[in-house]
A and B are shown apart, each in its own frame.
Chain A
Amino acid sequence: DAGVTQSPTHLIKTRGQQVTLRCSPKSGHDTVSWYQQALGQGPQFIFQYYEEEERQRGNFPDRFSGHQFPNYSSELNVNALLLGDSALYLCASSLAGTGVLNEQFFGPGTRLTVL
């Protein structure tokens, strides 16, 4: 049973560029959440996708957008990259709902460096 996978592992971009990160959820999961983890900080919630729609959003600008596909995989897009966007981007998958079964499983993350 494959867990949450993310690609690429590492990415280097320059300011002003755009980037797309990808996430495949754990088998059987239908909800994907994205987090940004700056160096030395805890993960910060970006947004959550369920049924191909953004359901919840954290305090991030519109430069951060996402998409969920019918197979539940997801993309995170960041436009007009800033130096401050350098971080580890984590994807987590779960089952919809608020019960015990909706435990979030995290992927290994994508390390984004903006130069």
Chain B
Amino acid sequence: AQKVTQAQTEISVVEKEDVTLDCVYETRDTTYYLFWYKQPPSGELVFLIRRNSFDEQNEISGRYSWNFQKSTSSFNFTITASQVVDSAVYFCALKDNFNKFYFGSGTKLNVKP
């Protein structure tokens, strides 16, 4: 069975601090995709990044970076120098071979000025 776990329910940081959001997944598929989405108060899910199971190369994009480790089934997301506008709920998700998405329960990030 597919499962995504985000153990951090809520995180509060002060602006300019770095913050890492944790994601652990379970799957028996050999081919799958992992995603991070941001959900601001407006409700719409905003795509941040996608990684397939064969691409463990970590990436930095501006203030965002991702750490994908198949050995530990983790796909963590880091925001460097956080800003108030980063405040939102962040979801980690897994897409299986049938194009079904499995979302974690989300981590609410509060960035205080």
Contact = CB atoms under 8 A, between A and B. Distances in A.
Contact of B106 (A41, A96, A98): A41
Interface stretch (A17-25, A66-74, A77-85, A102-110): A102-110
B97 A108 contact: no
A56 B43 contact: no
Q: Classify chain B: how many residues form its interface, as a range.
A: 20 to 34
Interface in B76-96: 91, 93, 95
B43 A108 contact: yes
B interface: dominant SS? loop
Contact of B45 (A56, A97, A106): A106
Given A41-B106, A42-B91, A108 B101 contact: no
A97 to B, nearest CB: 8
Contacts of B47: 103-106
Contact of A102 (B43, B91, B99, B105): B99
A43 B91 contact: yes
A33 B43 contact: no
Q: Classify chain A: how many residues form its interface, as a range.
A: 20 to 34
Contacts of B100: 33, 45, 48, 56, 58
Interface of A: 31, 33, 35, 40-45, 48, 55-56, 58, 88, 90, 92, 94, 96-98, 100, 102-109, 111
